């Protein structure tokens, strides 16, 4: 069975920070992978989890930047991996499993947003390749160590910008037939991340693995926003007239420390034991909010992406496009 998208009594709110979430939690002996854990939200999540005593592994495609940003956390292990390169993912996963016998938490955080049209070596659109297919392959390759760990969790980074037309998505996920729109591509990938979390939770249930999708909030001060037009950011109330980030957590605009809180909460909170497969935001489970034509909303989660039939279709699509399945 799938957990209902029903909010729970969480002690944390929209303005909570990642360090506040882990306060009092002891993660000593826990092994955690955070993709993209060397910048933006990933870095703040790594800092909080490290402060709680966890062993952190950060795969990166930019070794120099990762070493520079993690210099004050010398115990964090940095490994090479590129989510758009299937061979690189397999090499990292094999190396990890030759070194570690368990994986307590996998946070699939790395991603790209609204990028110009780029394709990987297979011809797949870069946002779908990175945000979805790369993390699908990584999770699948690491499945044996997740399954060997008591109470393992997988956290998929999504976004409030996840609403999509399912028939359009499954017809042309890589924009091979329709004109490319960077924001539509981003929404497709983030909707797919929610479906992927639900599918992972379904397959992991018998192994004791639970999975979550997370919306961290709108955070302008990260590398993810490098392709964003500041006029768009201003129109949405993310920045002021001088281009400075507006911090208003109750309306979704957060600092990186606040944005990382729901990531860390989904990864560690005992309140979520047995409640996998849900979409979370503001350190809580979000309710379903149906799409209304002409009235887009950034609140709640679309029933399109929580539909287990669509999550199953996505799983089959990912297997087809990557040639990878669960071991």
Query: Domain of 311: which CATH number?
Result: 3.40.50.720
* Per-residue confidence band for 290, with pLDDT thresholds at 50, 70 and 90: confident
Q: How far is CA 70 from the centre of its chain?
A: 20
Asked if the structure places residue 11 within a domain, the reply is no
| 4 assigned to some structural domain | no
**Which pLDDT tens digit goes with each residue over 177-209?**
999 999 999 999 999 999 999 999 999 999 999
For the cut 50, the answer to whether the pLDDT of residue 321 exceeds it is yes
144 φ, ψ (degrees, to nearest 5): -60, -40
Nearest 10 degrees: CA dihedral of 256, 296, 157, 85? -110
pLDDT at 114: 87
Q: Does the residue 12 lie in any domain? A: no
Residue 187 tokens read as: 């929404």
Q: Domain for residue 9, yes or no?
A: no
Which residue pairs, CB below 8 angstroms and at least 24 apart, start in 312-319? 312/199, 312/202, 313/170, 314/170, 314/192, 314/195, 314/196, 314/199, 315/196, 315/199, 315/203, 317/170, 317/173, 318/132, 318/133, 318/136, 318/196
In a domain, 2, yes or no: no
Residue 223 pLDDT greater than 90, yes or no: no
In a domain, residue 10? The reply is no
pTM assigned to the model = 0.93
3-state secondary structure of 225: helix
Q: How confident is the model at residue 249 (pLDDT cuts 50, 70, 90)?
A: confident
Quote the pLDDT of residue 295.
55
Domain that holds residue 287: 18-321
Q: Which residues are catalytic?
A: 186
Does the residue 326 lie in any domain? Answer: no
127 CA to centre of own chain: 13
Q: Mean pLDDT over residues 100-125, rounded? A: 96
For the beta carbon of residue 287, count every other beta carbon within 10 angstroms.
Answer: 13
The number of distinct structural domains making up the chain is 1
Mean of the per-residue pLDDT values of the chain: 91
Task: Look at residue 7 and tell me if it is in a domain.
Answer: no
pLDDT (0 to 100) of residue 224 = 47
Lowest mean pLDDT: which of 249-253, 255-259, 300-304, 311-315?
249-253
């Amino acid at each position: 069975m799938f957990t209902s998208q029903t909010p729970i009594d969480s002690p944390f709110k929209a303005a909570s920070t990642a360090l506040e979430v882990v306060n009092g939690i002891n993660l000593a002996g826990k092994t955690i992978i955070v993709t993209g854990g060397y910048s933006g939200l990933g870095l703040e999540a790594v800092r909080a989890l490290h402060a709680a005593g966890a062993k952190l592994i950060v795969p990166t495609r930019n070794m120099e930047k990762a070493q520079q940003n993690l210099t004050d956390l010398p115990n964090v292990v940095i490994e090479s991996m590129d989510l758009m390169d299937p061979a690189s993912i397999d090499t990292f996963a094999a190396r990890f499993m030759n070194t570690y016998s368990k994986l307590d938490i996998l946070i699939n955080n790395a991603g790209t947003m609204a990028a110009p049209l780029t394709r990987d070596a297979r011809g797949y659109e870069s946002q779908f390749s990175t945000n979805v297919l790369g993390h699908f392959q990584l999770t699948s390759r690491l499945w044996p160590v997740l399954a060997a760990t008591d109470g393992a969790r997988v956290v998929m980074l999504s976004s409030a910008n996840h609403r999509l037309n399912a028939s359009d998505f499954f017809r042309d996920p890589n924009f091979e037939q329709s004109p490319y729109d960077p924001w539509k591509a981003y929404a497709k990938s983030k909707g797919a991340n929610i479906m992927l979390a639900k599918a992972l939770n379904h397959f992991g249930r018998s192994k004791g693995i639970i999975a979550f999708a997370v919306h961290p909030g709108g955070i302008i001060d990260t590398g993810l926003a490098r392709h964003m037009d500041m006029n768009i950011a201003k129109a949405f109330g993310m920045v002021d007239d001088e281009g400075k980030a507006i911090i208003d957590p109750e309306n979704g605009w957060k600092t990186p420390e606040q944005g990382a809180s729901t990531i860390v909460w989904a990864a560690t909170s005992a309140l979520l034991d047995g409640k996998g497969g849900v979409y979370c935001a503001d350190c809580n489970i979000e309710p379903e909010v149906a799409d209304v034509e002409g009235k887009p909303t950034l609140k709640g989660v679309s029933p399109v992406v929580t539909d287990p039939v669509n999550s199953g279709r996505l799983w089959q699509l990912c297997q087809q496009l990557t040639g990878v399945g669960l071991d």
